[in-house]
């Protein structure tokens, strides 16, 4: 909490707060209504972080990204150019459950359903990739499924636009992704691109079909190490009913070398739409060599960067709470 948390009934400019629907390390998220009664989502960065140049620049980048996106499979931004008393995002309210909630309730999904969800995800991300925008944190928590079955991608908080400058030193950022869905190049501290999203889509499809992610571990570093070094488990050894072309698609998404993956979500989408007719000769099922880290200190530097990043964020958070509670 920031000490400036909004409560039901509070007014923020022209919006009335209905309820808090999420609290994160960098922002709070609220369900609200506008004067016409339309439900919207307000994403409010913590006030303390607005004084952090890199954090505020990242928030401004997120605003620019969501303004550029226009696809039914991506949460829309509402920007009517009005003056605001503080920075925040106004987003489409999507009725539905996260894919994470669906997987917790149901475990593994039938092949046709999993492929359809992946197809819609790929279509949404193909639209973003065509505009030079990369999500870099695709995971079931950032995917909503409506009662009608529409799949919607949310939270471009660590998204990237092609050609944008780096906001943080490559080894000193706590917002590089989520370990279970991180591509090997993210583990190495690289920025990532469309192929990084393809990798995360492959992990999500694997999880929907297998009921678990490809690699599990006792701590984030153990999981990240497996993304770099471990062989991709065979889906058909988990469930022989999974068609070979689907396993081929997943394995192509999860190649450790980005150059061996689909180049973007559009190429993945084409295979997902025609998977029954795919030629298996076009896929590599053999194990591949582990990725060589650029230096033997790679994972240790990454671990140190993550630890320092979280420590700095925590100290900033505590300081903000203290000042808000005791400041004049």
Q: Can you tell me the distance from the alpha carbon of 115 to that of 129, in angstroms, rounded to the nearest whole number?
A: 20
Q: Which tokens hold the place of 211?
A: 């009921």
Q: Which of 57, 79, 137, 218 is catalytic?
A: 137
Q: Can you tell me the distance from the alpha carbon of 214 to that of 219, in angstroms, rounded to the nearest whole number?
A: 15
**Does 137 qualify as catalytic in the annotation?**
yes
Q: Can you tell me the distance from the alpha carbon of 102 to that of 313, in angstroms, rounded to the nearest whole number?
A: 31
Alpha helix (H) ranges present in 91-143?
A: 99-106, 111-130
Distance of alpha carbon 54 from its chain centroid, rounded? Answer: 19
Q: How far is CA 55 from CA 167, 177, 210, in A?
A: 8, 15, 37
Q: Can you tell me the distance from the alpha carbon of 232 to that of 226, in angstroms, rounded to the nearest whole number?
A: 9
In DSSP terms, 143 is beta-bridged to 153
Alpha helix (H) ranges present in the chain?
A: 53-68, 99-106, 111-130, 184-187, 194-210, 220-229, 235-238, 244-253, 265-273, 298-326
Let me know: does 27 contact 44? Beta carbons within 8 Å: yes
Q: Using alpha carbons only, give the angle 323, 315, 140 rounded to the nearest 5 degrees.
A: 115
**Residue 54 phi, psi dihedral angles, 5° rounding:** -65, -40
Active site residues: 137
């Amino acid at each position: 909490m920031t000490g400036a948390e909004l409560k039901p009934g509070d007014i923020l400019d022209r919006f009335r707060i209905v309820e808090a629907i999420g609290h994160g390390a960098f922002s709070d998220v609220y369900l609200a209504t506008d004067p016409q009664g339309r439900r919207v989502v307000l994403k409010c960065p913590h006030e303390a972080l607005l004084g952090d140049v890199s954090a505020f620049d990242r928030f401004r980048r997120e605003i620019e990204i969501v303004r550029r996106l226009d696809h039914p499979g991506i949460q829309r931004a509402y920007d009517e150019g009005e003056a605001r008393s503080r920075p925040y995002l106004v987003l489409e309210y999507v009725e539905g459950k996260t894919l994470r909630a669906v997987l917790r309730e149901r475990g593994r999904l039938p092949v046709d359903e999993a492929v359809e969800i992946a197809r819609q995800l790929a279509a949404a991300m193909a639209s973003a990739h065509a505009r030079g925008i990369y999500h870099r944190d695709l995971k079931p928590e950032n995917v909503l499924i409506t009662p009608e079955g529409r799949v919607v991608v949310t939270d471009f908080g660590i998204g990237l636009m092609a050609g944008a400058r780096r906001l943080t030193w490559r080894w000193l950022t706590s917002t590089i992704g989520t370990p279970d869905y991180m591509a090997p190049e993210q583990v190495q501290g690289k920025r990532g691109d469309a192929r990084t999203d393809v990798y995360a889509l492959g992990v999500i499809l694997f999880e929907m079909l297998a009921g678990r992610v490809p690699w599990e571990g006792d701590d984030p570093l153990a999981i990240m190490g497996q993304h770099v070094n471990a062989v991709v488990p065979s889906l058909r050894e988990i469930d022989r009913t999974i068609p070979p072309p689907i396993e081929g698609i997943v394995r192509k998404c999860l190649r450790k070398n980005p150059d061996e993956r689909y180049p973007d979500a559009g190429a993945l989408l084409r295979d997902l739409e025609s998977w029954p007719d795919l030629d298996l000769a076009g896929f590599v099922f053999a194990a591949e060599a582990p990725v060589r880290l650029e230096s033997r200190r790679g994972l240790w530097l990454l671990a140190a960067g993550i630890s320092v990043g979280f420590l700095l964020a925590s100290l900033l958070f505590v300081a903000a709470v203290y000042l808000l509670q005791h400041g004049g």
